[in-house]
């Protein structure tokens, strides 16, 4: 009797150990945008690929729309290990104290995705990601979103139209300077609070790629949208370094492969997602869309490009110069 009880107990113990051994490794992936955006879709895609390539040994739980953390809290949660993976916008690395990333926020520094990819897939991008390691963060990839356009409740055609407008920006010294250069009043706030701030008039306008504007319904509370495409917004996919390096090598390799696939996917869909969001904003008829004339575009560019030299000390002249070299941009030739 006693022996059989012992055997039953032993059997139960072995079974629960086996169950424990089969528990998947959970990766919490937090982000602030809608599921229906380039980042939202790419995060889901990565979760699917991670499960496939590790044969279910890894479960990526994606928390979209700031459901887990808001902008500022995310980074701290990653460093503490409360969340394992994030894809913050590149503007978020300035406040973290990592020099150089803010080069991506400079207005008009990239003339389209091709220019941008020279940086994100080249040596400059690689060296920027390496700068995260002392912060306990490992950079895995750059994911695209797109080019930001300005919106407000009043028409935005000339630089003078921004004078005195309260414009919501991400927390960024570069973006702050950008708004000041056209006479606006920069207002920093978390992404999750923007819709309400626009709706209640706490701020007058904002900037974002159209995929973010549309999925947050910002166009419903902005009377005017001007397709300025004056600056880039994209992401670095990052992980808690200790967690990542502690994974079994074969699993980490499978996750690296899943990330390569998700990055290809993210960067393939980004432009189309923004184009289709613009179509939907047009169809909604809720905001007046203005495409700047060549002259209007040049006037805004001339007003904003001096931000580059003003931010030289903060970003690093060497980083700005290496971007100019890769893309051929010359601020003196406007
Ligand atoms: C914003 O706050 O405007 C962006 O960082 C949101 C995002 O992550 O795309």
d(CA 326, CA 334): 18
Kindly list the protein residues whose Cβ atom lies closer than 6 A to any atom of ligand 1: 32-33, 71, 89, 145, 170, 191, 208, 212, 233
Q: 14 pLDDT exceeds 80? A: no
d(CA 54, CA 255): 7
Between the CA of 228 and the centroid of ligand 1 the distance, in Å, is 17
Sole residue written with tokens 């949660």? 77
CATH number of the domain that 269 lies in? 3.40.190.170
The answer to whether residue 122 sits within a structural domain is yes
Q: Provide the whole-model pTM.
A: 0.93
Q: 1 pLDDT exceeds 70? A: no
Between the CA of 68 and the centroid of ligand 1 the distance, in Å, is 15
The answer to whether residue 243 sits within a structural domain is yes
Residue 145 CA, closest ligand 1 atom number:
9
Task: Give the CA distances from residue 128 to residues 110, 120, 123, 151, 301, in Å, rounded to whole numbers and listed in that order.
Answer: 17, 9, 9, 31, 26
Between the CA of 19 and the centroid of ligand 1 the distance, in Å, is 40
The answer to whether residue 175 sits within a structural domain is yes
* Residue 16 per-residue DSSP state: H
Number of domains making up the chain: 1
The answer to whether residue 145 sits within a structural domain is yes
The answer to whether residue 5 sits within a structural domain is no
Q: How confident is the model at residue 65 (pLDDT cuts 50, 70, 90)?
A: very high
Structure confidence by residue, pLDDT tens digits, 128-187: 999 999 999 999 999 999 999 999 999 999 999 999 999 999 999 999 999 999 999 999
Q: How confident is the model at residue 26 (pLDDT cuts 50, 70, 90)?
A: very high
d(CA 256, CA 249): 10
pLDDT score for 72: 84
Nearest residue (by CA) to ligand 1, atom 2, is 191
Residue 39 CA, closest ligand 1 atom number:
9
Between the CA of 14 and the centroid of ligand 1 the distance, in Å, is 48
The answer to whether residue 257 sits within a structural domain is yes
Between the CA of 101 and the centroid of ligand 1 the distance, in Å, is 15
Nearest residue (by CA) to ligand 1, atom 1, is 191
Cα 169–chain centre separation: 13
**Mutation pick for ligand 1 pocket among 212, 216, 218, 277 (CB with most ligand atoms within 8 Å):** 212
Range of the domain at 237: 23-329
**Mutation pick for ligand 1 pocket among 33, 68, 69 (CB with most ligand atoms within 8 Å):** 33
Nearest residue (by CA) to ligand 1, atom 5, is 89
Between the CA of 325 and the centroid of ligand 1 the distance, in Å, is 28
d(CA 65, CA 147): 20
pLDDT score for 22: 76
Q: 12 pLDDT exceeds 60? A: no
Average pLDDT, the chain: 94
Would you call 101 helix, strand, or coil by DSSP? helix
Mean pLDDT of 200-225: 98
Helix 123-130 / helix 317-327 crossing angle, nearest 10 deg: 150
Largest CA distance in the chain: 94
Residue 37 CA, closest ligand 1 atom number:
9
Q: 276 pLDDT exceeds 60? A: yes
Query: Nearest Cα to 235, choosing from 327, 105, 44?
Result: 105
Between the CA of 191 and the centroid of ligand 1 the distance, in Å, is 6
Between the CA of 212 and the centroid of ligand 1 the distance, in Å, is 8
The answer to whether residue 251 sits within a structural domain is yes
**What tokens appear for 68 in the block?**
């887990």
The answer to whether residue 9 sits within a structural domain is no
């Amino acid at each position: 009797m006693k022996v059989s009880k012992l055997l039953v107990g032993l059997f139960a113990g072995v079974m629960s150990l086996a169950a424990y051994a089969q528990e998947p490794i959970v990766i919490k992936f937090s982000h602030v945008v809608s599921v229906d955006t380039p980042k939202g879709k790419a995060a889901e895609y990565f979760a699917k690929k991670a499960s496939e390539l590790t044969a279910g040994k890894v479960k990526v739980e994606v928390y979209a729309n700031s459901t887990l953390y808001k902008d500022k809290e995310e980074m701290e949660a990653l460093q503490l290990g409360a969340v394992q993976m994030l894809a913050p916008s590149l503007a978020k690395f300035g406040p973290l104290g990592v020099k150089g990333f803010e080069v991506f926020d400079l207005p008009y520094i990239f003339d389209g995705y091709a220019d941008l990819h020279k940086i994100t897939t080249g040596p400059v991008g690689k060296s920027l990601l390496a700068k995260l390691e002392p912060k306990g963060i490992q950079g895995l990839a750059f994911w695209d979103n797109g080019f930001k356009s300005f919106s407000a409740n009043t028409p935005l055609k000339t630089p003078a139209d921004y004078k005195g407008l309260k414009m919501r920006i991400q927390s960024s010294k570069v973006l702050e300077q950008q708004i000041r250069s056209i006479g606006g009043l920069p207002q920093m706030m978390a992404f999750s609070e923007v819709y309400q701030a626009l709706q209640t008039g706490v701020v007058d306008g904002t900037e974002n790629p159209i995929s973010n504007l549309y999925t947050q319904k910002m166009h419903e509370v902005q009377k005017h949208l001007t397709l300025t495409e004056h600056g880039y917004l994209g992401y670095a996919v990052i992980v808690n370094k200790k967690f990542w390096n502690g994974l079994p090598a074969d699993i980490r390799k499978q996750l690296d492969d899943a990330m390569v696939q998700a990055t290809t996917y993210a960067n393939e869909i980004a432009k189309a997602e923004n184009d289709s969001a613009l179509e939907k904003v047009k169809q909604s008829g809720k905001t007046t869309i203005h495409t700047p004339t060549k002259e209007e575009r040049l006037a805004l560019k001339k007003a904003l490009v001096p931000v580059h030299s003003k931010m030289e000390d903060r970003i690093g002249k060497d980083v700005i110069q290496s971007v100019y070299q890769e893309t051929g941009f010359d601020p003196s030739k406007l």
